[in-house]
Structure 1
Amino acid sequence: MEVFKDFLEKMDDPQQRERTEEVLQWVAEKYPQLEREVKWNQPMFTDHGTFIIAFSVAKQHLAVAPEQKGIVNFSEAINKAGYNHTKMLVRFPWNKPVDCNLLAQMIDYNIEDKADCTTFWRK
């Protein structure tokens, strides 16, 4: 988790920092094969040089970005879980638990869907 240390230390709210660290740690433990990086000031996980998922923080939520195709594929599940989303990110409110099952589904989908991808982003 050393790669995310500077990002986490810049977070002012200790509860948000703790939640973000827990989620990043959960992903790192569940998917040890994924590379940990910080790009565009966002902690992210990549696989063979291709983007899998990224995180960012806002006042009201932890934002999870699985790329637009991931949002489209999971839009119904995201809404059913009580979260809202834009075309590019899912909002996990600070005052609600993170649905790790949904998060795992999005990560698994991207790993499988991008197994043969040779670019960072989908084309």
Structure 2
Amino acid sequence: MTEFENYLAKIDDPDQQMRVRTVLNWVQETFPQLEQRYAWNQPLFTDHGTFIIGFSVAKSHMAFAPEGPAMEQFADQIAANKYNPGKMYARIKWTQDVDYELLRQIIAFNIADKADVTTFWRK
């Protein structure tokens, strides 16, 4: 988590900071093969140099961004959780629970789907 400490320190609300820290730690513990990277002002996880998932925060939510194909693949589950989706990301309000099983499925999908990808983003 050392890669993300400066980012976490900028989150003013201690509860929000702890929640983001918990999610980032969970990703690293669940998928220890993923590499941490800080880019575009957000913590990211990569696998063999390709983007897997990123996280960001705003006043009313924490967002996860797994790229469009993963958003499409899991659209029903994202909607069922009442996460506010965009084309490339979904927003989890600070008042909502984090569905770790859904995150696990999304990350596992991206790892498998991008196993042969040699670029950072899908083409």
| TM-score under structure 2 length normalisation | 0.98
Q: Distance in 1 between matches of 2:118 and 2:74?
A: 23
TM superposition shift of 1:96: 1.2
**Which runs of no fewer than 5 residues in structure 2 stay unpaired?**
none
SS of 1:36 mapped into structure 2 = strand
| Residue aligning to 2:115 | 115
Q: Does 1:17 align with 2:32?
A: no
- The answer to whether structure 1 residue 39 and structure 2 residue 39 are counterparts is yes
Q: Does 1:93 align with 2:90?
A: no
**Aligned match of 1:81:** 81
**5+ residue gaps in structure 1?**
none
Distance in structure 2 (CA, Å) of the matches to 1:44 and 1:104: 15
Q: Deviations 1:66-100 (Å, cap 9, x if unpaired)?
A: 00111111111110122120001111111111000
Secondary structure, aligned partner of 1:59: coil
Following the alignment from structure 1 to structure 2, what is the Cα–Cα distance between the partners of residues 81 and 12?
A: 26
SS, match of residue 121 in structure 2: coil
Q: What percentage of residue pairs aligned between the two structures are identical? A: 54
Aligned to 1:105: 105
Partner residue in 1 for 2:65? 65
Tell me the equivalent position of 1:6.
6
Q: How many residue pairs end up in the alignment?
A: 123
More displaced 10-residue stretch of structure 1: 88-97 or 113-122: 88-97
| Letter of the structure 1 residue corresponding to residue 11 of structure 2 | M
Q: Give, in whole Å, the separation in 1 of the partners of 2:3 and 2:18.
A: 16
Paired residue type of 1:6: N
Q: Which amino acid counterpart does residue 99 of structure 2 have in structure 1?
A: D
Compute the RMSD of aligned alpha carbons: 0.6
- Residue 12 (structure 1) shift: 0.9
Distance 2:118 2:63 in 1: 26
CA distance in 1, matches of 2:43, 2:30: 16
Q: Following the alignment from structure 1 to structure 2, what is the Cα–Cα distance between the partners of residues 51 and 24?
A: 15
